[in-house]
Amino acid sequence: MRLARSITAVSAAAFASIAMSTATAAAEPVVVTETPVTIFQLPAHSLVVSGLVVPGIHAAAVTAASPEPGHVTFAAPTRPEVCATTFGGALVRIDYLNIATGNAGTVTVRPCENFLEPTPTRATANTGSGPVVFSVGLTGTAYRPTAGQPSIPGVGTFTAP
């Protein structure tokens, strides 16, 4: 009798363990892996001034990753202390051209994550596979039209997978 109870208890525990692991596996989000893309660039530069009227220069560098062949996700992340200057509220505009396929377009990203602006912090573009050249410019928003100004545009190149 004791053996039957022990077997029943062990099988119930095993069944509960399997049910919990299945429920946990179903609840986990699907993670899309992106392949980093090496970029050679001269970033866009902006004159920034802090609240203490201390001037500086910020280089708005672009990063890229490829979620699938022919598509590239652009971003231009920056440090929080830069977002607390006159650069806060600036947008980074990326104009790209695939030399092999002729695919061209523009994406705009927001470098400051905590700034209230509907522009995304990352944008995926259909660049096509092959060599891509791009230019980077800094623009303001409707809320802060002079954010990130004065600035100098940047250029770069990479090979899209």
Of 2.60.40, 2.30.40, 3.30.2010, 2.10.240, which CATH number belongs to 35-160?
2.60.40
Model confidence at 25: pLDDT above 50: no
Tell me, what's the pLDDT at 143? 86
Average pLDDT on 96-121 reads 93
C-alpha distances in Å from residue 151, one per residue of 45, 64, 125 = 5, 22, 25
Side-chain half-sphere exposure of 159, counting CA atoms within 13 A: 2
Tell me, what's the pLDDT at 30? 47
CB 41 within 8 A of CB 28: no
Element of type H or E holding 84: none
C-alpha 131/C-alpha 99 separation (Å) is: 6
- Which residues are paired to 23 by β-bridges? none
**Domain-wise residue ranges, the chain:** 1-30, 35-160
